[in-house]
Amino acid sequence: MLYEVITKRTPQQAGQALETAAQKHQFGVLTIHNLPETMAKKGVEFSKECLIYEVCNPVQAKKVLEANPSISTALPCRIAVFEEGNHTKLSTIKPTAMLALFGNPELDPVAREVEQTIVSMMNEAAGE
């Protein structure tokens, strides 16, 4: 259900590389959630570095949304970049697993294509 990759890069370095990879693969970064900053604004201390990237390919999103507008609850795709121990991890829920929850098997090819692209983007961001 999850795809994860470990890198020796810092979360910031991995995030920058992810932004570059996303652009290369025609995905846009819609927003970046900086969890420690967001939680601090709410009065909650969270000391680990954690960035959540919302990424989207509008052509692919249109295909799935036209088939089932409820899929909008699972969009955009999210990739987390966070500290774990002495390394950085990139993690995402596989689009194939996510779309399977909606019961539209005709969208399997789209989910596989998006998943392959996200995996490539994450591997590039990790420096692999």
- 17-45: pLDDT as tens digits: 999 999 999 999 999 999 999 999 999 99
Q: The dihedral of CA 123, 109, 92, 61: what is its sign? A: positive
pLDDT tens-digit series, residues 79-115: 999 999 899 999 999 999 999 999 999 999 999 999 9
Query: How far is 31 from 29, CA to CA, in rounded Å?
Result: 6
Query: How far is 90 from 23, CA to CA, in rounded Å?
Result: 17
- Left, alpha or beta for 52 (phi > 0: left; psi -120 to 50: alpha)? beta
Could you give the dihedral angle defined by the CA atoms of residues 44, 46, 49 and 55, in that order, rounded to the nearest 10 degrees?
Answer: -40
Nearest in space to 51 (alpha carbons), one of 11, 94, 7: 11
In the chain, what are the domains? 2-126 (3.30.310.70)
Over residues 6-22, the mean pLDDT reads: 96
Q: Is 66 helix (H, G, I), strand (E, B) or coil?
A: helix
pTM: 0.94
